[in-house]
Amino acid sequence: MTLVNTADLIRAADRDGCALGGFNIYNLEGVRAVVAAAEATRSPVILQIHPAALRHGGRPLVALCLSAAQEASVPAAVHLDHSTELADIQVALEMGIPSVMADGSHLPYADNLAYIRQVTALAATMGASVEAELGRISGTEDGLSVADYEARMTDPDQAAAFVQQTNIDLLAVCIGNVHGVYRQPPRLDFDRLAAIDRAVAIPLVLHGASGLDDALIRQAIRCGVRKFNVNTEVRQAYLDTLKTALVTSPSVDLVPLMQQAQHAMQAVVAEKMALFGSAGRADPITG
Ligand code: 13P
C-alpha cells in the first residue's frame, strides 16, 4: 500500500485510542515476520532499525525495509531507533528513512535539548518526524547497556518545556520501563505517566514493552501511550527457534529454518498487535 510517516500513523492511532508496535528488525526474516503479522491482523505497523543493525546492514537493510513497507497491504512506517549521533540520523534520512528517534537521554538536560533541536531542524527540512526521550531507560539492547543507577524517571513539568522547545512529534517516557528482560516484576509509575500525558499534547512512547503483561499494556494505553517498542520477545522467538531446530534436526536446510524462525516471530508480533489494539485498524487509519 504505502510507506507512511510514523507520526501520522501514531496521530491516527491516538484518534482511535489504540497504540502501535514499533518492532525492531535485523534481517529479511524479521521484516517479513512483522509485515506478515500486520497484514494478517490488518494492523498498521512500524519497522524499526537500531543503529547497530543499521551499521551492520547499511543501505541494503534500509532498502529492504522501505520496499517491504511500500509493498505492504497495510500502512507501514520505517523508523530509526535510539540514535545518539547526528551523523547517523543524517545518513538515515538521506537513505530515505522518514522518521527517527534522536536519543539524547545520556546527556545533561541542556545538551539533550540542544541535540534534539538540531535534529528537529534537520528533520523538518526533509519532512521527517522525530521521537525523543526524556529521563533515562536502564537495561540492555544491542550492546548498549545502561545500569539501573543511571536510570532517571521523566519529570512531567520538564517534559512540557522540552516538547515545547524542541517541537518533537513523539515523546518516549521513563516510568520504570527497562530494555531487555525485566529481572524483577515490572513496576510502572502510572501516576507519573498520566501526569506527563496531561502536561504534553503529543503522543507518548513506551520503550521496553517486552515482558509487560496485558493489564500493564492496557493501563499504559489508557494513560496516553500510543507506541510500544518491542524487540526482546521477537528476537527471543527467533533465537529459540534456531536453537531448537539445530538440536532436533541438525541437517535442516536453511530455507525451512528461516521460515520457521519467521513464523515464530510473526506469532509474537501478531499477539502484540491484538494487545495494542492496532489489529483491524489498518483501513480506518488510511481512510
Ligand atoms: P524490549 O527490549 O523490551 O523489547 O524493548 C525494545 C525497545 O524499547 C527498543 O527501542
Task: List, for residues 125-146, the tens digit of each pLDDT value.
Answer: 999 999 999 998 877 666 666 6
Strands 170-173 and 129-133: parallel
CA dihedral over 227, 128, 46, 174, signed as positive or negative: negative
Q: Looking at ligand 1, which atom is closest to the CA of residue 211?
A: 3
Whats the size of the chain, residue-wise? 287
Q: State the pTM of this model.
A: 0.94
Any idea which residues carry the catalytic annotation?
81
Q: What is the distance in A from the centroid of ligand 1 to the CA of 8?
A: 22
**99, 103, 212, 229, best to mutate for ligand 1 pocket (most atoms within 8 Å of CB):** 229
Considering only CA atoms, which of 278, 220, 256, 281 is closest in space to residue 23?
Answer: 278
pLDDT for residue 287 = 42
Considering only CA atoms, which of 207, 202, 204 is closest in space to residue 166?
Answer: 202
Q: Is 180's C-beta closer than 6 angstroms to any atom of ligand 1? A: yes
Show the cell assigned to 223: 494513560
Torsion of CA 264, 265, 270, 271, to 10 degrees: 70
Longest pairwise C-alpha distance within the chain: 58
| Cα 145 off chain centre by | 17
pLDDT for residue 151 = 65
Domain ranges of the chain: 6-286
pLDDT < 70 stretches in the chain = 1, 140-151, 284-287
CATH code for the domain defined by 6-286: 3.20.20.70
> Is residue 179 a contact partner of residue 207, using CB atoms and an 8 Å limit?
yes
pLDDT for residue 145 = 63
Q: What is the distance in A from the centroid of ligand 1 to the CA of 52?
A: 14
